[in-house]
Amino acid sequence: MKKWITLFTVTVCLAMAMPAKAQIKFGVKGGLNLASASLSDAWDAKGNADNYTGFFIGPMVDITIPIIGLGVDGALMYAQKGTKFSYEEGNISKEKTFKQQGVEIPINLKYSIGLGSLASLYFAAGPSFFFNMNSDDDLTFDSETGSLDYDKSEVSLNLGAGVKLLRHLQLGVNYNMGLTDSAKAKIDSSKSSDMWDAINGESYKSKMWQVSVAYLF
């Protein structure tokens, strides 16, 4: 965890080191999360991770150096994400939905390319920090009982691009790749069959596409 704290500190220092002529704008950002999961081999052998649609919204700040096009943006957002786990028991197809909600703090280094006075393209990359608000989920498969224990915090990597219009409107597409675990399965071995014992202690990482709209004041 120390290396992620170091990465966060370096990113914040870069933002603070921006020259006095940098343009600073505050705004509101929101959008959709099309989320899924990167399963371990044990999870993958039992079923498939399907997409879950959530949303995010919150205040943001955008800092840009006009001449060279470099900048940093950050946000403090309420976010929903998760995954749908589809599997078969006997010949019956079943599905469980694992939903997370929490506070997400993405911090991105950005490079913008002007397309005239009214529009510009931007490319962005940086870390994102997610602080989970969920309690553990029930993980019961017929006669087997267990729980899905969510990590209190997660770190992921953002890679994205978008367009700024009329100096106030920002549209973006982002891929968010989990670097740390999202949750871990705990199966009660005293009450389970061999079928689900394999995922006991196994974790998964979140991954998602994000489509966002922001308005900068």
Q: What is the pLDDT of residues 136-189, one digit of tens each?
A: 787 776 666 788 899 999 999 999 999 999 889 999 999 999 999 999 888 776
207: pLDDT strictly greater than 70? yes
| pLDDT tens-digit map of 83-105 | 988 887 777 788 888 899 999 99
> Exposed, middle or buried by CB within 10 Å (0-12, 13-18, 19+), for 191?
exposed
The pLDDT value recorded for residue 2 is 57
Average pLDDT over residues 107-122: 90
- Which two structure tokens, joined as six digits, stand for 192? 């389970």
d(CA 198, CA 45): 9
The enclosing domain of 88 has a CATH number of: 2.40.160.20
Task: Say if CB 147 and CB 187 are below 8 A apart.
Answer: no
- Which two structure tokens, joined as six digits, stand for 152? 């209190």
Residue 118's pLDDT band (cuts 50, 70, 90):
confident
CA distances from 54 to 32, 98, 167 (A): 6, 12, 28
d(CA 133, CA 27): 24
d(CA 18, CA 74): 14
Average pLDDT over residues 117-134: 93
Task: Select, from the ranges 38-52, 183-197, 201-215, the one with the highest average predicted confidence (pLDDT).
Answer: 201-215
For residues 47 and 70, which has the higher predicted lDDT (pLDDT)?
A: 70
Q: Where are the beta strands (DSSP E) in 115-196?
A: 119-132, 137-138, 146-150, 153-165, 169-178, 183-187
25: pLDDT strictly greater than 90? yes
Domain interval for residue 199: 2-216
Q: Please state, rounded to an integer, the average pLDDT across all residues of the chain.
A: 85
- Quote helix, strand, coil % in the chain, to nearest 5: 10, 65, 25
Number of domains in the chain: 1
The pLDDT value recorded for residue 133 is 94
Closest CA to 184 of 153, 211, 141, 151: 151
Q: What percent of the chain has pLDDT over 70?
A: 85
52: pLDDT strictly greater than 70? yes
- Whether pTM > 0.75 for this model: the answer is yes
